[in-house]
Structure 1
Amino acid sequence: MQATLHQLRVFATVARHRSFTKAADELNITQPTVSSQVKHLANILELPLFEQIGKQLYLTEVGEALLGTCRDIFDRLENFEMQVADFKGMKQGKLRLAAVTTTKYFVPRLLGSFCATYPEIDISLQVINHQQLIQRMTDNEDDLYILSNPPKDINLEIHKILENPLVVVAKSDHPLAEKHNISIQELNGESFISREAGSGTRRAIQELLNKHKVAVRVRLELGSNEAIKHAIAGGLGISVLSQHSLFAKELESELAILDVREFPIERYWYVAYLSSKQLSTIAQTFLEYLLEQSQF
């Protein structure tokens, strides 16, 4: 197969975006050039790499196979570049991380001290919800993933790094705020502020409420812990949040953690990566750093 690395990168970019136009924009080349490079690859293979149905572009079976090969090639090249830097006594290159939204309360601190030790490392951090992270994981887009609810249907290497208790939070003047040892049944009928569909926190809460036959009245669905905290402070209802999200002092006097039995929900933060993935030198270095900082 007489294909160049440039042609493979062009193809992989089109496959990622499912768009020739977006690939051209990212690569800063013209759309006809992108089309020409992809066509050349297809001619070499004597098989089509894409098919268009309506306005949507799809990979063919051989296109999917080539994309997997491209990812393997690029990962190996990147790892080799990092190994060369390592041989020279340097740690430099790029680390690709994806983490669920609540990790923004502690991951930046971890990254700060890591970057101080290895200033030549560039970090790409995607902070997204659980569902989006699982999609990136399925597509093998990152080196490491930080999340609280690892999927069971993806073959992963998983390490526990930090406790992540989920607590019931209400406005400080809520009638339950002064009570102790509250039965979970007292949450029945409460106005509730929920995370968006796809959130791991939402799923864990719903499982516990279902188990105890508790039905809350979902008044709002919001996509961030910050929005939920402000909604609680505004008197719109109660919610269940990661205790890590309450570290900020901004609303401390306006919020209260309720002493509800069955809470906190015991959860943990994990660092994970695909079992089949050969970690780069940089990713391995960051993994070892996380495990050294771990509570476990």
Structure 2
Amino acid sequence: MIVRNYTLKQLQTFIEVAREKSVSRAAERLFVTQPAVSMQIRQLEEAFGLALIEPVGRNIQLTNAGQEFLVHAIAALGKLKDLEASMAEHVGAKKGRIELGIVSTAKYFVPMLLVRFNKLLPGIDIALRIDNRDNILGMLQRNELDLVIMGRAPANIDCEATPFASNPLGIVAPPEHPLVRRKRMPFDIVKDHPFVVREHGSGTRAAMERLFEQYEIPIKIAMEMPSNETIKQAVMAGMGLSFLSMRTVRHELASGHIALLDISGMPIVGKWYVTHLSQKKLSPAAQSFKKFLVEQAEPLIDSWA
């Protein structure tokens, strides 16, 4: 049997390059330089004597060997995570590492929760991944994440989703918008007004589409944007209305830079869930963080300014 000289870091780097289809974007994700990513890939290719990636225009494409390598690399990392979870039981809940994925909207309160959790259990390291819902679900399904925080439990993945906080969503507008002064408006009043919306794959976009389908109203889209921060700036500039989590705009609402429309039946109140694969054996560290969210997160989020 030939022993190949390659490292866990090289496997992780390769998976990131494959996912992003770009060395530069992978470097940003991994918080390293582009030459460092290129070197890791080159060393991995040298270890196996195969080309795993090839440039196509400005992007990266996997070779046939690279596609097969990706399947086995993801499976190998999943097995290593299971190994770490099993060994962590011998250490206890005070030490360990958690791979945590969160949807973009959760970034407005999760860092605060991580600071509080770190004060309770400083020996636990948390690696945080932030992305839209579709991408986070893909990572969960591939067993790349221990826990996921999202606003709607996945329907097509065998997982355990536990609610830990409320997630109110409403329609916001620039403060000078004519609808801001009106009270208890019917929902269909927004049908002729343009909306700035999140991209397809976002949980907020999916929730918005379900709501408009419920009222049988088409969404008049002014622009589609990939981040809540950009959307807030667009709303403040008068580009249109938007449908957002109240957790996202709490500071703008308090300062008067954005206004919440008074629409009957809104805000709608969903839930935030902490989710993991049903068959996954959670480490004591992951169990501790899940317990912390369920028992302490909501009052911390509500009181956080």
TM-score scaled by length of structure 2: 0.79
Aligned partners of 2:253 and 2:260 also within 8 Å? no
Q: What is the Cα deviation at residue 289 of structure 1?
A: 1.2
- 1:211 lines up with 2:214 in the alignment: yes
Q: 2:148 maps to which residue?
A: 145
Write the distance in 2 (CA, Å) between the matches of 1:209 and 1:253: 27
- 1:35 lines up with 2:35 in the alignment: no
Aligned partners of 2:45 and 2:52 also within 8 Å? no
Write the distance in 2 (CA, Å) between the matches of 1:275 and 1:7: 29
Q: Specify the SS of the correspondent of 1:235.
A: coil
From the superposition, tell whether residues 250 and 69 of structure 1 become closer, same or farther in structure 2 (CA, over 3 Å). Answer: closer
Q: Which of 237, 246, 268 is matched with 1:243 structurally?
A: 246
Write the distance in 2 (CA, Å) between the matches of 1:116 and 1:183: 46
Write the distance in 2 (CA, Å) between the matches of 1:230 and 1:92: 41
Write the distance in 1 (CA, Å) between the matches of 2:41 and 2:108: 41
Identify which range, 133-142 or 248-257, moves more after superposition. Answer: 248-257
Aligned length, in residue pairs:
283
Matches within 5 A, 1:1-296: 10=10, 14=14, 17-18=17-18, 25-26=36-37, 31=42, 33-38=43-48, 55-58=61-64, 66-67=72-73, 69-86=75-92, 91-249=94-252, 252-293=255-296
C-alpha RMSD of matched pairs (Å) = 3.3
Aligned partner letter, 1:167: G
Structure 1 unmatched runs, 5+: 40-47
Q: Specify the SS of the correspondent of 1:169.
A: strand
Q: What is the Cα deviation at residue 183 of structure 1?
A: 0.9
From the superposition, tell whether residues 72 and 249 of structure 1 become closer, same or farther in structure 2 (CA, over 3 Å). Answer: closer
Q: What is the Cα deviation at residue 138 of structure 1?
A: 2.2
Write the distance in 1 (CA, Å) between the matches of 2:236 and 2:184: 23
Output one character per residue of 1:50-101: Cα deviation in whole Å (capped at 9) or x when no partner: 7999852346897577446523431233224433432xxx722221111011
Q: 2:32 maps to which residue?
A: none
Aligned partners of 1:167 and 1:263 also within 8 Å? yes
TM-score scaled by length of structure 1: 0.81
Q: Specify the SS of the correspondent of 1:176.
A: helix
Aligned partner letter, 1:197: H
From the superposition, tell whether residues 35 and 188 of structure 1 become closer, same or farther in structure 2 (CA, over 3 Å). Answer: closer
Aligned partner letter, 2:84: E
Q: What is the Cα deviation at residue 111 of structure 1?
A: 0.8
Write the distance in 2 (CA, Å) between the matches of 1:99 and 1:4: 35
Write the distance in 1 (CA, Å) between the matches of 2:65 and 2:154: 25
